[in-house]
Amino acid sequence: MEGQSVKILIVDDDEVYRDVLRDAIVEENTELSLAASGEEALELLESSPFDILITDLNMPGIDGLTLLKRARQLYPDILTLIITGYGSLESAVEAIRSGAYDYIQKPFRIDEVAVSTRNAVDRVRILRERQALLDELEKAYLRLQQLEGEVRKQGCREPSEDEAPWGGEGTLPKGRTRRVWVPGRALPLDVLEGSKDAMAQVLTDLERLKELRRERIVDEAEFERLKKIILRNVDGVP
């Protein structure tokens, strides 16, 4: 996920502006494509997914607003930067209402385009990280449901004295967790209790862990180690 490039499509019927927009994007690990018309851009969008669309608003044929709407139909999460030569409030408002991430007025400054693009690229990467964590949580939740189903299928019971890992005493030794016994494994009773609250807490913990990584409080190795600990708790396996 970290190494996946961000794909950007630049659309403008003016070759000079296309080149200026291309040169203004200095973000690392980005893949740029250029189109001279809305029609050409739509062909590229239909043949390959893009993360960011930067398009002029006023073009002959398929204009920027129409292209924005078509692009969002194909890729609902695509981020679109609208370039307008008129700068009218009406066109900007309509673009934002149609789902534009940002708009820039011609004539624009190079640094203005660079900042807007950098923000969009950062947004794409954050959304990717969030989706990856949500996918991991979904897998962990499915594993949790499987464990619950296994317990229900086999029948929940306390281990016998022969099976009890602490020797069959009536009370648990200090620091031990009460368990239900399933053939082949002992599971914590709290696996069956408050799973929704537990998942909400895990999501909160992972989001906080991501913030710590972004703030460089923890490095990548520490992030991965702590993430495994959090997800291991979801598994319900000590």
Q: Is the pLDDT of residue 42 over 70?
A: yes
Find the helix or strand (DSSP H, E) in which 35 lies: strand 30-35
What would the 3-class secondary structure string for 135-149 be?
HHHHHHHHHHHHHHH
Please tell me the predicted confidence (pLDDT) of residue 96: 83
**Average of per-residue pLDDT across 186-191:** 45
> Residues 6 or more apart from 95 whose CB is under 8 A from it?
57, 64, 65, 68, 80, 82, 84, 103
Q: What are phi and psi of 104, to 5 degrees?
A: -130, 135
Find the helix or strand (DSSP H, E) in which 119 lies: helix 110-154
Judge whether 179 and 159 are in contact, CB under 8 Å.
yes
Highest mean pLDDT among 19-33, 34-48, 189-203: 34-48
> Residues 6 or more apart from 219 whose CB is under 8 A from it?
213
What pTM was estimated for this model as a whole?
0.62
At 187, the pLDDT band (50, 70, 90 cuts) reads very low
Q: Is the pLDDT of residue 196 over 60?
A: no
Judge whether 71 and 92 are in contact, CB under 8 Å.
no
pLDDT single digits (tens) 150-182: 666 665 554 555 544 444 444 555 555 544 444
Between 213 and 122, the higher pLDDT residue: 122
Least confident span in 33-47, 137-151, 199-213: 137-151
Please tell me the predicted confidence (pLDDT) of residue 233: 58
Please tell me the predicted confidence (pLDDT) of residue 175: 53
Max CA-CA distance within the chain?
83
User: CB-side exposure of 13: number of CA atoms within 13 Å?
Assistant: 13
At 237, the pLDDT band (50, 70, 90 cuts) reads very low
At 185, the pLDDT band (50, 70, 90 cuts) reads very low
Cα dihedral 108, 114, 118, 124 sign: positive
pLDDT single digits (tens) 62-115: 999 999 999 999 999 999 999 887 656 677 778 888 889 998 888 888 888 899
Judge whether 151 and 182 are in contact, CB under 8 Å.
yes
**Average of per-residue pLDDT across 136-159:** 65
Query: In the predicted model, what is the mean pLDDT of the chain?
Result: 76
Please tell me the predicted confidence (pLDDT) of residue 198: 62
At 193, the pLDDT band (50, 70, 90 cuts) reads very low
